[in-house]
Amino acid sequence: MSSETRETLDEAMARSSGLDTLLRDLTDRAVRDVPGAVACSITVRRADRLLTLAGSRGLPNGLDQRQYENGSGPCVDAAETRTEQYSPDLAEETRWSAYPAYAVSTGVRCVLAVPLEVEGETGAAINLYAVEPRALEAGRDAARTFAARATDTVNTALRVERRRESAADVRTALLSRSVIDQAIGILMAQERVDASIALERLRRASQDRNVKLRDLCSDLVTRVARVSRDGRPPSRR
């Protein structure tokens, strides 16, 4: 891969507004850079299941999903075995059960799936599709080089995404703690009890009603806020 391509990938990372945009840029670039490719997708195992993070323009609907449903196919095998999978002509392919026939029905005749070494995930692959038999033969080296470069970019993007998810989890936890504290304060004022007793009563009510403590407290705070706004006494549930 040329230095110009590497710089362009770095620029794509810099200008990307998120993981989805970045990976879409990568799949579109793979189609341009790998001879014979007409479509590309990126498969990653997350939360113990394979999913397609992004697909290029022109990727037939269901081409990856059918593999995930069957638990069999080139991108599944590449991700799970970390071994490159290549089928020069899907019309003559005997592997992967009914998948080759399905792919041919969408117009795809040749597929190449190259594993990606993605941090913190148990499997990933970049998948390239062609409409002519053996069309990807001459592009296999280019695909491997592109995959090696894309791995760094995907890893960086996934780390950013994990940090965002972690920050969102922290915000959710803080909001939950805040509403629970408010509910404790309300119960202390209404029942004239201390904080530990108020919390214990809320927990018991949560268990008795089979409702999350956070949701029960949120409901109490909302009802009290409504009372202060319109003057109606809160209903007791």
The 10s digit of each residue's pLDDT in 3-50 is 444 444 444 444 444 566 777 888 999 999 999 999 999 998 877 788
d(CA 72, CA 67): 5
Residue 28, classed as helix, strand or coil, is: helix
What is the distance between the alpha carbons of residues 124 and 66, in angstroms, rounded to a whole number?
A: 17
Mean of pLDDT over the chain: 81
Q: What percent of the chain has pLDDT over 90?
A: 38
Does 102 score more than 90 pLDDT?
yes
Measured at the CA of 181, the angle between CA 175 and CA 185, to 5 degrees, comes to 145
Give the CA distances from residue 106 to residues 31, 101, 135, 219, in Å, rounded to whole numbers and listed in that order.
Answer: 18, 9, 16, 51
Question: Per residue in 53-93, pLDDT tens?
Answer: 888 988 887 899 999 988 999 999 999 999 999 999 999 99
Q: What is the pLDDT of residue 38?
A: 96
